[in-house]
Amino acid sequence: MLLESQRPPVGAEGHDRDAETCLASEMIAQDLPTGTVTFLFTDIEGSTRLLHELGDRYGDLLAEHHLLLRRAFSRHRGVEVSTEGDAFFVVFPSVPDAVNAASEAQRQLFRHAASGRSSVAVRMGLHTGDAELFGDNYGGLDVHRAARISSAAHGGQVLLSVVTAQHAMRSPKVSEGIRVKELGRFRLKDLDESEQLFQLCIDGLPSDFPPPSALGGTVQLPPRLDQFVERKKEIAELRSLLARHRLVTLTGPGGTGKTRLATEVAAIASGDFPHGVFFVPLESITEPDLVPSTIAGTLSLREAGMRTVLETVKDYLAHKAILLLLDNFEQVVSSAPVVSEMLLAATELRVIVTSRAPLNITGEQEYPVPPLSMPDPTEPATRPRCADMRRSNSLWSERERSLQTSTSPRRMLPW
């Protein structure tokens, strides 16, 4: 609920504006940090609407907002790069400084609103990267990424890039009462690949927000823990199949790279699915009856009333353009009718399946994944061929080590 700004006592307004001017001068006068820094962008959510509602009083509210934020930022070594209207661009020499400053600023705004003087919802975004100076300002992709992350936030929310989040989670200098929560992957405007976003959860402040404002829905795919052997031909073929068929099953024996290939295709195609891309791991599932509940868990759904889990899933998927990646389906192949029911209930749903055997249901398009091939040793040892051989050898070595160290149970089928 927004409260109109109350006019301060006589003389207080001039004092606040003097303090704001002094703080602004101090923050701007500092030299811009170089090297690896953390960028912070902020702005007021719904500022245009506030301006129309408050009229002349909006100036007082904006001055209070500026003073609160500048106090928090300056206490944590923030350097103000620029301010335009209600938007701040501030840079910090370290991740803990930026995280602590953003948290303190949100706390001060919350307390200020609770006092009844004014209430504004400020969204913030943090990203850590290289400081590329262009005259008296920063430029480059890292600045652009930080601005886009801020634009995806909601009022009162602080979003972080994966780089900033990882540093924050490891640093003992981050203040008590601050946690980092993973939100998933999202497509942001003008960025080629989806971004993994995190949120600061600050004790005493609201932490439940709608999904970040993005071009598409959540992209929940497993991180790539080892290198991906380039398979341009297979990716192109699978993208074409996915555009023409609603169910594409990648088949083949273990070790052919089905999961990695399917994940890569899903990531590339994520922009085509505005309601999200979801990876459903079935490797540890051996009971076919558990497939609907596993899918529901991935989608963060709960069973409602007397309805079955599958009915809840179908209701959710209906009228949504979603891509599901069902991995290791050979363990529960007898539950293939579940996939049929979902596709019948949700006409915009697309499903990619990885399995050692096809599902054998109507509408399925099987794609046998060829084994990873080693370059022919009789061919001339050209630089591209040597590079391919090194990548293949490296990937096989990584997989061998992964299998040797894995402790997760796996049901092996006779192939």
Domains and CATH numbers, the chain: 31-202 (3.30.70.1230), 219-368 (3.40.50.300)
pLDDT of residue 409: 38
Average pLDDT over residues 393-413: 40
pLDDT at residue 261 tops 80: yes
Structure confidence at residue 26 (pLDDT): 55
Angle at Cα 306 formed by Cα 285 and Cα 312, nearest 5°?
A: 55
Q: Per-residue pLDDT for 248 more than 90?
A: yes
Please choose, from the candidates 142, 137, 125, the residue with its C-alpha nearest in 3D space to the C-alpha of residue 32.
Answer: 137
Say what the pLDDT of residue 300 is: 82
Q: Give the number of C-alpha atoms closer than 13 A to the C-alpha of residue 284, restricted to the C-beta side.
A: 7
| Exposed / middle / buried, residue 24 (Cβ in 10 Å: 0-12, 13-18, 19+) | middle
State the pLDDT confidence band at 226, using cuts at 50, 70 and 90: low
Tokens read off for 366 = 């099987």
Question: What contacts 95, CB < 8 A, 6 or more positions away?
Answer: 38, 126, 128, 164, 167, 168, 171, 174
CA distance 308 to 318: 16
Q: Check pLDDT > 50 for residue 256.
A: yes
Tokens for 223?
């991180």
pTM of full prediction above 0.95: no
Which of the two residues, 219 and 248, has the higher pLDDT score?
Answer: 248
Q: What confidence score (pLDDT) does residue 151 get?
A: 92
Q: What is the DSSP letter of 31?
A: P
Which residue, 2, 43, 38, 51, is CA-closest to 155?
43
Length of the chain: 415
pLDDT at 5: 32
The 10s digit of each residue's pLDDT in 37-77 is 999 999 998 888 888 888 988 999 999 999 999 999 999 99
Q: How confident is the model at residue 158 (pLDDT cuts 50, 70, 90)?
A: very high
Local structure of 43: helix, strand or coil: strand
Element holding 136 (H helix, E strand): none
pLDDT at 99 over 90: yes
Cβ contact 209:202 at 8 Å: no
- Give residue 163's pLDDT: 95
Q: What is the band of 282 on the pLDDT scale with cuts at 50, 70, 90?
A: very high
Q: What is the mean pLDDT of residues 94-100?
A: 98
What is the Cα–Cα distance from 225 to 244, expressed in whole angstroms? 31
Q: Per-residue pLDDT for 194 more than 80?
A: no
216-230, 288-302, 340-354, 400-414: range with lowest mean pLDDT: 400-414
| Mean of the per-residue pLDDT values of the chain | 83
pLDDT at 411: 32
Helix (H, G, I), strand (E, B) or coil at 120: coil
Count of beta carbons in the 10 Å neighbourhood of residue 356:
19
Per-residue pLDDT at 399 exceeds 50: no
Q: What is the pLDDT of residue 414?
A: 27
Cβ count within 10 A of residue 84: 8
Residue 19's pLDDT is what?
Answer: 56
354 within 8 A of 221, measured Cβ to Cβ: no
| Residue 24, pLDDT above cutoff 90 | no
Distance in angstroms (rounded) separating the CA atoms of residues 386 and 229: 14
Lowest mean pLDDT among 17-21, 114-118, 329-333: 17-21
